[in-house]
Structure 1
């Protein structure tokens, strides 16, 4: 399909409004993407026509809802090229997916003096669960350092790997810097010492082609709301042999085969990890988000986003007082920066006055900010529906703010 930015923008109702008397420019996509009409309509359709609990009902509505729900699971399997849909588990978000692995795989396979490796650029959700696990088990958390550009120092990573390494949990694409990590190479190196690998794909899944079989990752965690889908829905991919080897995360309905007061036997995967009534409507609507992405193609989407990032870099590079943060050679469409002498929050408010929505602060990566010796950054993150004219608006806003401060 020919890439048509006007057609794409027409699919997103929220974009067509004014903020403070100016057309909205939405550059907070790394936090959450906007939703196409098809996703919004799918939510409404489910509640108007198909609302029912799933898997356990014998009536028509239950059958329809179950079928639509499982069709989304299959669509996700295809989207990440998992071997089978049973390897796809629904959660509340990337955070819950990572915690699920920590509480199940971690509790069963990580013990005293074992080691877990993460990187300096991790989101808090890929730090705190491992700290909690290490405190409980007497294991050790090791951190891979990064360069000034925001890239993993490979030699230091190799030095940290050892037979004690049981898990490498690493972000595929940094939410704060945009850095794309060499995850296939990381996975191969980790597997060579017998370690398993979890990828935080919260950012990468919306920008990059993901093939879990080719990557050979053991786990992949990501969220629907960063993929033009609803909030409150996450996905955990895991290899069948690992999912079968670890215990359930939560106990309750659906995750059981049989319950007596003496003993409970657990359901097969993926249902073993999906206790209780799930987020049915949002799961069903997420299929529309995946179809939207597939209709335009990841290749075209990434090309467009890469062009936006390159244009933003070009328009801002000569602005006096503009300080880019994160200049890795391989990046997704994230422009993090500061303006000399200004707090990121103040810059964000001044851009908001021009109708430009950006994210400010530490982006749930406080250790990363400490690495660079800063409190936070202003983050402009781009998506398929953004335009070069919006980039020009952003650059003009940054230049005006920088002139005020750096006269």
Structure 2
């Protein structure tokens, strides 16, 4: 009988049986469980570069994610093999480009469980998608006395378009406040919704607080009063399984660059009949049926809202990113990030000078932490960490009203993705402690 390894037995007790696990060998010869990051990091070429002579530790994923080989190859392959305009030619290259472009739309529809690929509109980003709804539906349906409910945690992209529409229509903006735990105050939301409410437009996951808002409950209450609901899913689409039919939201927006796709491409989901009732956002080629000198008729969805030559390569690469995430599994991504987040918070909370904003684990939350560190300005902290090869974000994260609400001029933010590791978190924490100690020595 062979003697059982005490290390293997310990690992089994902690995480499962050997049959359920994959192991990797460390430099010391000890085998350890292989994490999701271990299996995917080779797919991301940028993660293997150095910054200031140190290995890159990229913790700015809430701003933009890195891109796997599959996405980079999709861009290169389009331009190298079938670069052509879509929908406008019958030659081989145009047909191949159109098939790939529309095939990506079908992948996105499946990714969010839309009822039809016609409900997916390509946009440059989530900002453009929100503006599309604001100017097409908002200007046509809102009037003086109507109310639009937002929250104090909204990204500027889900705030400024509604400010502009409210100025033009006379509609009134209302804002949901935060609970003492710095989450969406559903009780306050209930007090705001009434017969005057025509729209609720809220973020699914806060890019600053990290809280996951109760979208299904928000939608359900709004629909009781006949109001429409738009969901900003920029921070949820890359990290959580999404099902727009289950959420029953009227619109949902996301940006490709936060979910392993290129910049310059995003999408708007909208319920089919609702989108058909909305006037075009932009006029020009591609979005028309017939054009006369005095008037025109418009194409059916989705092309009605896609004027001009689109971002073809970027859309195809977004489809490749969706394939990549789907093959991993969004449930698996979410579970691994939850483990990383708990670890990150445990480490951050051991630093006395650090104050973290938003709900803390074990509450379910996003894989990011916005924080301040005593008298140290976040920009100074970020600069010091960069010298150690560690990339974090510093500033107001396009949520200036929220920062005023939480009484912080700016915050530092470390945001994770499924290719990050606990070892990277350890490196971040060690450099953060050194940076804080350095600045404390100057201030004292």
Q: TM-score per shorter chain, which class? A: over 0.9
Among residues 124, 127, 130, which one is paired with 1:98 in the alignment? 130
Q: Does 1:49 align with 2:85?
A: no
Distance, in Å, in 2 between the alignment partners of 1:342 and 1:137 is 44
SS at match of 2:175: strand
Distance, in Å, in 2 between the alignment partners of 1:318 and 1:43 is 44
Distance, in Å, in 2 between the alignment partners of 1:192 and 1:290 is 33
In the alignment, which residue of structure 2 is the partner of 1:143? 175
Conserved in 1, the CA contact under 8 Å of 2:150 and 2:176? yes
Q: Does 1:195 align with 2:227?
A: yes
Among residues 375, 398, 401, which one is paired with 2:432 in the alignment? 398
Superimposed CA distance per residue, residues 80-125 of structure 1 (whole angstroms, 9 cap, x where no aligned partner):
0000000000000000000000001101111111000000100000
Change (3 A) 1:352 1:148: farther
Among residues 154, 160, 164, which one is paired with 1:132 in the alignment? 164
Looking at CA atoms only, which structure, 1 or 2, has the larger radius of gyration? 2
Superimposed CA distance per residue, residues 286-323 of structure 1 (whole angstroms, 9 cap, x where no aligned partner):
11111111111111111111111110111121212111
Q: Matches of residues 51-200 of structure 1 in structure 2 within 5 Å?
A: 51-200=83-232
Distance, in Å, in 1 between the alignment partners of 2:73 and 2:241 is 27
Q: Does 1:343 align with 2:377?
A: yes
Distance, in Å, in 2 between the alignment partners of 1:169 and 1:84 is 23
Q: Does 1:268 align with 2:300?
A: yes
Q: Does 1:278 align with 2:313?
A: no
How far is 1:190 from its partner?
0.5
Superimposed CA distance per residue, residues 29-78 of structure 1 (whole angstroms, 9 cap, x where no aligned partner):
00000000011111011001100000010100000000000000000010
SS at match of 2:84: coil
Conserved in 2, the CA contact under 8 Å of 1:320 and 1:403? no
Q: Does 1:382 align with 2:409?
A: no
Conserved in 2, the CA contact under 8 Å of 1:219 and 1:236? yes
Distance, in Å, in 1 between the alignment partners of 2:146 and 2:250 is 18
Distance, in Å, in 2 between the alignment partners of 1:5 and 1:133 is 43
Distance, in Å, in 2 between the alignment partners of 1:222 and 1:308 is 24
Among residues 364, 381, 392, which one is paired with 1:330 in the alignment? 364
SS at match of 1:199: strand
Bigger relative CO (Cα 8 Å, ≥ 6 apart): 1
Structure 1: gaps of 5 or more residues = none
SS at match of 1:89: strand
How far is 1:351 from its partner?
0.8
How far is 1:4 from its partner?
4.2
Structure 2: gaps of 5 or more residues = 1-20, 23-34
Conserved in 1, the CA contact under 8 Å of 2:148 and 2:198? yes
Distance, in Å, in 1 between the alignment partners of 2:349 and 2:103 is 46
SS at match of 2:336: helix
Conserved in 1, the CA contact under 8 Å of 2:287 and 2:307? yes
SS at match of 2:202: strand
Distance, in Å, in 2 between the alignment partners of 1:396 and 1:36 is 28
In the alignment, which residue of structure 2 is the partner of 1:24? 56
Conserved in 1, the CA contact under 8 Å of 2:36 and 2:419? no
SS at match of 1:30: coil
**Please, what TM-score do these two structures have when normalized by structure 1?**
0.98
SS at match of 2:283: coil
SS at match of 1:158: helix
SS at match of 1:206: coil
In the alignment of these two chains, the number of paired residues is: 407
Conserved in 1, the CA contact under 8 Å of 2:36 and 2:418? no
Q: Does 1:213 align with 2:245?
A: yes
How far is 1:27 from its partner?
0.4
Among residues 46, 66, 73, which one is paired with 1:34 in the alignment? 66
Distance, in Å, in 2 between the alignment partners of 1:377 and 1:148 is 19
In the alignment, which residue of structure 2 is the partner of 1:353? 387
Among residues 311, 324, 329, which one is paired with 1:297 in the alignment? 329
Change (3 A) 1:289 1:100: same
